[in-house]
Amino acid sequence: MTIEAPTILALRKDPRLLKIPPYLSALCIVIGIVWLFLLPLNEYSRHTYISENALLPGQVHTYFGGSEQNVFNAYKHEVQSLLGKDPEVIAAQLSNILRSVGLKAATQKYHYEAAGNVHSGENAYAVLHAPRGDATEAIVLVAAWTNMDGEPNQSGVALALTLARYFKRWSLWSKDIIVLITSDSKAGPQAWVDAYHDEHSPDSADPLQLKSGALQGVVVVDNALDHRFESLHIVYDGINGQLPNLDLFNSAVAIASGQMGIGVSLQRMWKHGDSYRERLQTMLRGMVSQGLGHASGPHSSFIPYHVDAITLQAVGHGWQDEMAMGRCVESTFRSLNNLLEHFHQSFFFYLLMQANRFVSIGTYLPSAMLVAVNFTIMAIALWIQSGRPPKRRAGSATVDMKESEVEVVRKEGMVALVPTADLAIVERQLFLPVALVVAFHFLGAVPLYVFNNTQQEALAQTLVFFAYANIVLPTLLAIIISGFTTLSSHRLILLQCFSLLLLGMFLATLATLNFSLAFLIGLLAAPLSFVGIAMSADNGDAPPELGTLRKIVSNVLLHLLSPPVVVLAVCKIFGADTGATLAEAAFGWKVSGLRTQVVVCCVWWPAWLIGAVIVSPGL
Amino acid sequence: MRRFYLLFLSLLLAVAATADPQYEEHLHLEPLPQGLLLASFNFKSNATLQSFEQQHFKYIPRSLGQILQHARTKELHLRFSSGRWDAESWGARPWDGKKEGGTGVEVWAWIEADTGEEASLRWITLNHALSGLFCASLNFIDSTRTTRPVHTYEPVGDHSNTSLSNLHLLHGTLPREVVCTENLTPFLKLLPCKGKAGISSLLNGHKLFDASWQSMSIDVRPVCPESRSGCIVEMEQTVDMVLDIERSKRPHDNPIPRPAPADQLICDTSKSYSSSEACFPIDMSSMQSWSLSDVFGRPIKGSCLANDIRGDRSESVCISVPYEHQVFSSQGSVERKDPSSNHRCYVLPENDAFEMALPQQESQAVLPRPSPPLYASRSFTGHGQERGGVQSLLTNPSPNAAVSFTYFETLPWFMKPYLHTLKAQIAASPSQSQEEIIKSIYYRPALDRQRGTQLELQISVPPASTVRLTYDFEKAILRYTEYPPDANRGFDVAPAVIRLHPDPANPSSKAVYLRTTSLLLSLPTPDFSMPYNVIILTSTVIALAFGSIYNLLVRRFVGADEVESFSLAKVKARIKGRFAVIKDRFSMKKEKKTQ
């Protein structure tokens, strides 16, 4: 009979201990999800406030209006006469108009190729030297020729030109003002800001002839409507989920809704009644946008350079005209002009639920951390289990105890009888699991390369082919590997342990940078911690056997949540063209520095692959 | 009687000997394109070296003269500048850049001393005294902001060879200094008329500091002309400014540039859409009329020191406009037009106010200014808080002559350049070898917290090409107390000074100075709330730990029934007992005494 002493040391070897971690992991995931749903409540979210006292948003009189409307109309006619022409002609005429205002103007050509599509054009920009300034800082007013929806941004460009002329007459600017009109909304601003910091590749973008000081803030104007608008839609997401300083957003909201009386909306929530449901929806939309990390406007390219930027977009039918939008921009620029230091006071990591409600990272981070920690808990549990000697089967435990299986242990005058099996030291065979984990993670570079370098027409089919390949790939790999070495349960446990450890570590780190991506990947990869060898004492060292039902369920669940299937399903649900989405991702990789594909292909997919190999029928 | 005659004659001779003008002032006005006006005020005061050393101050103010004598400064150049000179639109700099400094304050002086340390001490004395005199923070020019340039500056005064060997050149800059009225007022107080008469009466803080570019300079130097036997000390004060005429004309109580009424907009009527609703504006700023009181806010009040200047009074105000333009001036002034040089000069009336007005002309022509020999601009490259790069673009516009110059940079010690990454390339053809562009390098490395980097490059730019000069640097993390109050703004890096060498073939060519703009270097900042957090945390921990351990050591638990109950009667009885004991003692003493 085994002697069981009820001390903590004996508890360490208690087989019931290892039953807890799966429930603990599940509890962590549930708490993580529930935490997120608690955030929109009033007790857990906060009102927005202006942290940088120098900004003083909405405290200045704005004088834009009057005869500026006539000038705006003239510039709008000019813009309309340029519609449909070549980018070179457009840029040349725009820089002529800017020169006629009295500014120094120049153009910049760029040419990018991604997924077989060519993104090229010519940006026109002008620098308004602050009359009494010292050329060390600059703020930028951007208007893209076509906005994110592909519509011509007529009023926006005309407004930028009118504001350039209006700003020239003021002598109170402490920073230079750069007026930038890009050919499109994504590649153009990226080319310009890369060249401004001299980090462009010479064959993609020309260097800039005119430069000013360090960029302090960027405001993008987007008004493709030809009628009066109702409210301003503020877009603030940047590349890789990086967000601008909350003070800039708060200033724009304070000016638009406070001083000018124009409503403000965000995350395409046109009607926001400040109910729990709408707050949650805004927050989740923000999380999706942040998780995907793509460019959501011309401002997105500036944010990775630590330059805070937002886009003001006119939406709806109402009675606010372009002069109202011009006054908003003027007031925002006056606030930016007041800045003594770079934006540093307010939050850089936040989730907005409404124009004046937010949660900061200290409040929302635990939810993604819990989801990531669940993998680590399972990894630790698996490690402990791999160190345990394999137990006898339940059927043959007590009856066949023989003399030779029990040892006598003498220590300090005490004598005990201990089964030999308990004293056996289990050597962990680390090489194969570690090598496999590393190999699979490097294997992720293959789909990464393929999806970033395929033409757009072939992308959808490639994805479908990849999804089909994923069904057979785990079984194939399992067969190949077991052809070389045996995949004992011990090795499988260690394989899963290292894979989950790596996944937990990576997701926990990613949560500090891109909370939403870590949370989403953690949720989608959550089944990985529950498939595999059951955490029970009834394991033999015979070939591993999962219950057949458990194995089937695990396989189905895993294949339903494999990365390509998820991508296809999401595209289907949101009605987006798969090829266009993947081409967008390839563009992001080549041009904007988007790194979401690295997480999907090199972290999630290899972890999924390892999980699928463990439960594959090939073993 | 004879003695009187002799005395009178000698006095006359003495007066005649000193009949050279000891003070003269000059204002030069030059319209620039796009409705701007360049105004150069120049004030020159003389004193003989003898009278200077004997402390007989007349036109050179005592406050400045005594400072220079105390600090043994033989030549001083002090510059206050703000704004930026737009070389592409405005041409060559006034005075060939000799009377301007980099943004902020720039000072360099030749100090007489035996050793370098003595010169540094006198330099500090000089700066502290000047700081008090000019209300500028010159006292912040310490060893980290001082350099000793080798090739960039030459003494403009006449020094004897023996004194030259004892002279040390020290140069300091403060790019962050904001120049404003509190610097203008002491500057004007140094003038003989103190800004109340003559052309200095036009200088007004509101207009001067609304200018697109302004520079105030003070130069004190010894001059030994051949015509005289002794040397003189010359002090020259200059104020240059580029004013925006339209902005200056706005009334003082309503300076806001409101949009003009629709009927006052000047439209381009050739456009197809031109109507009452749509107006493509034409910039008519260069064709407006202006006058001295419009632009400066007041006319010139008389002339300064008219009685002291003998002989023909010199023309004080000159304006460069095309010959056919009309210029009106007030009564009492004498005009002289020079048909060949487009100069028009006026002699100011003694006591009356002088006004000059230019009406709207038919032609917009502005006299072209000489083109600058070099265009220079400097900017940062890269982003992030660890490292970056500096890029200077130097353009030689001349089609046939190469230009060679000294490029002088002084970098703060926390900006550590890697000199092996210094590269100079022709922007159009990067293959040309570097040795032909950078002829020599004078590099004095930085010492942390003691002095900055000093870099002087001799560069030659081929004709009609642009040289791109780049180098990488690394940013240091400063100590917690070394950050200024606005730590997240960044630190200013002084402008680069470029000195073009005079052409050896041409004896009359002179050195030309250019300066780039200053740069803003953003350094990583620590979390300034950490000292507070640490104090709070450790105090809490110590309080809890101390409290707990003290209780463990000292506290004694007793059963509740063992505790003596507290009753007031017992306490009273005890006190009474004590009193009784004391009473007994006293009464026993008394008894002993009485016994």
Domains of chain A: 2-38+367-614 (no CATH), 53-355 (3.40.630.10)
Distance from CA of B279 to the nearest CA of A (A): 5
pLDDT tens, position by position, B351-382: 888 899 988 877 777 888 999 999 999 999 99
Residue B222 lies in a domain: yes
- Do B521 and B534 share a structural domain? no
What is the DSSP-derived secondary structure letter of residue A600?
I
Degrees (nearest 5) of the Cα angle B87, B92, B96?
A: 130
| Binary contact (B520, A137; C-beta < 8 A) | yes
Question: Is residue A262 scored above 60 in pLDDT?
Answer: yes
Q: What is the pLDDT of residue A428?
A: 86
Distance CA B208, CA B247 (A): 12
Q: Positive or negative, the Cα torsion across B181, B183, B186, B190?
A: negative
Which of A360, A393, A318, A375 has its CA nearest to residue A496? Answer: A375
Distance CA B383, CA A187 (A): 20
Contact pairs from chain A to chain B, CB under 8 Å: 137
Q: SS3 for B346?
A: strand
Q: What is the pLDDT of residue A451?
A: 93
| Binary contact (B490, A77; C-beta < 8 A) | no
ipTM here? 0.87
B135 HSE (CA, 13 A, CB side): 12
Distance CA B168, CA B159 (A): 12
Query: Which of B294, B323, B358 lies at the terminal end of a domain, its last residue?
Result: B358
Residue B270 lies in a domain: no
Residue B74 lies in a domain: yes
Single-letter residue type at B434: Q
Q: Which residues pair with B475 in a beta bridge?
A: B415
Which chain B residues are within 8 Å of A198, Cβ to Cβ? 381-382, 389, 391
Please state whether A257 falls in left (phi above 0), alpha (psi between -120 and 50) or beta.
alpha
Chain A residue with Cα closest to B102? A134
Residue B10 lies in a domain: no
**Token pair recorded at residue B573:** 């009885």
Residue B8 lies in a domain: no
What size, in residues, is chain B?
Answer: 595
- Do B421 and B349 share a structural domain? no
Which of B444, B511, B497 has its CA nearest to residue B172? Answer: B497
Q: What is the pLDDT of residue A474?
A: 93
Distance CA B102, CA A494 (A): 67
Q: What is the pLDDT of residue A394?
A: 47
Q: Which residues pair with A417 in a beta bridge?
A: A408
Per the CB < 8 A criterion, the answer to whether B219 and B45 are in contact is: no
| Binary contact (B383, A73; C-beta < 8 A) | no
Terminal C-alpha separation, chain B: 116
Per the CB < 8 A criterion, the answer to whether B45 and B192 are in contact is: yes
**Token pair recorded at residue B381:** 């490259």
Per the CB < 8 A criterion, the answer to whether B355 and B298 are in contact is: no
| Binary contact (A67, B256; C-beta < 8 A) | no
From the number of C-beta atoms within 10 Å of its C-beta (0-12, 13-18, 19+), residue B54 rates as exposed
What is the DSSP-derived secondary structure letter of residue A542?
S
- Do B313 and B418 share a structural domain? no
**Confidence at B20, pLDDT banded by 50, 70, 90:** low
Q: Which of residues 419-478 of B touch A (CB under 8 A)?
A: none
- Do B314 and B403 share a structural domain? no
Q: What is the pLDDT of residue A542?
A: 38
- Do B138 and B115 share a structural domain? yes
User: Considering the entire predicted model, what is its pTM?
Assistant: 0.90
| Binary contact (A306, B383; C-beta < 8 A) | yes
| Binary contact (B210, A132; C-beta < 8 A) | yes
- Do B567 and B454 share a structural domain? no
Which of B411, B407, B422, B416 has its CA nearest to residue B470? Answer: B422
Which chain A residues are within 8 Å of B382, Cβ to Cβ? 197-199
Q: Is any Cβ of chain A less than 8 angstroms from the Cβ of B100?
A: no
- Do B416 and B344 share a structural domain? no
- Do B395 and B339 share a structural domain? no
Which chain A residues are within 8 Å of B281, Cβ to Cβ? 71, 74, 100-101, 165
Question: Is residue A393 scored above 60 in pLDDT?
Answer: no
DSSP B39-58: EEEEEEEEEEHHHHHTT--S
Distance CA A16, CA A317 (A): 65
- Do B534 and B393 share a structural domain? no
Q: SS3 for A105?
A: strand
**Confidence at B275, pLDDT banded by 50, 70, 90:** confident
- Do B48 and B174 share a structural domain? yes
Distance CA B589, CA A36 (A): 88
Q: What is the pLDDT of residue A543?
A: 40
Per the CB < 8 A criterion, the answer to whether A271 and A281 are in contact is: no
Which of B293, B255, B39, B295 has its CA nearest to residue A171? Answer: B255
Q: Is any Cβ of chain A less than 8 angstroms from the Cβ of B543?
A: no
Average predicted confidence (pLDDT) for chain A: 91
Q: What is the pLDDT of residue B340?
A: 79
| Binary contact (B383, A340; C-beta < 8 A) | no
Q: What is the pLDDT of residue B397?
A: 94
Per the CB < 8 A criterion, the answer to whether A614 and A477 are in contact is: no
Distance CA A70, CA A378 (A): 68
Q: Which range (A65-69, A315-319, B429-433) has the least confidence?
A: B429-433
Residue B329 lies in a domain: yes
- Do B459 and B353 share a structural domain? no
Question: Is residue B112 scored above 60 in pLDDT?
Answer: yes
CB neighbourhood size of A126 (10 A) = 26
What is the SS3 string spanning A121-182?
EEEEEEEECCCCCCCCEEEEEEEECECCCCCECHHHHHHHHHHHHHHHCCCCCCCEEEEEEE
> Can you tell me the mean pLDDT for A87-108?
96
Residue B101 lies in a domain: yes
- Do B429 and B394 share a structural domain? yes
Which of A544, A429, A531 has its CA nearest to residue A488? Answer: A544
Distance CA B491, CA B497 (A): 19
Per the CB < 8 A criterion, the answer to whether B169 and B110 are in contact is: yes
Distance CA A533, CA A544 (A): 8
CB neighbourhood size of B490 (10 A) = 20
Q: Which helix (H) or strand (E) holds A568?
A: helix A563-574
What size, in residues, is chain A?
Answer: 619
Q: What is the pLDDT of residue A546?
A: 57
| Binary contact (B391, A198; C-beta < 8 A) | yes
Q: What is the pLDDT of residue A421?
A: 67
Q: What percent of chain B has a predicted confidence (pLDDT) above 70?
A: 94
Q: What is the pLDDT of residue B22?
A: 83
Q: SS3 for A207?
A: coil
Q: Which range (A538-547, B200-209, B372-381) has the least confidence?
A: A538-547
Q: What is the pLDDT of residue B8?
A: 63
Question: Is residue B448 scored above 60 in pLDDT?
Answer: yes
What is the DSSP-derived secondary structure letter of residue B201?
G
Residue B63 lies in a domain: yes
> Can you tell me the mean pLDDT for B472-477?
94
B14-18, B231-235, B591-595: which is most confident: B231-235
Q: Which among A65, A131, A197 is the nearest to B244, CB-wise? A: A131
**Confidence at A366, pLDDT banded by 50, 70, 90:** very high
Distance CA A7, CA A24 (A): 23
Q: Which helix (H) or strand (E) holds A50?
A: none
Q: Is any Cβ of chain A less than 8 angstroms from the Cβ of B525?
A: yes
Task: Please give the torsion angle defined by the CA atoms of residues A520, A522, A525 and A530, in that order, rounded to the nearest 10 degrees.
Answer: -140
Query: CATH no. for residue B393?
Result: 2.60.40.740
What is the DSSP-derived secondary structure letter of residue B412?
-
Query: Which of B292, B325, B358 lies at the terminal end of a domain, its last residue?
Result: B358
Q: How many domains does chain B have?
A: 3
Terminal C-alpha separation, chain A: 35
Domain span including residue B132: 18-252+276-358
Pure H helices in A485-533? 489-513, 515-524
pLDDT tens, position by position, A53-74: 999 999 999 999 999 999 999 9
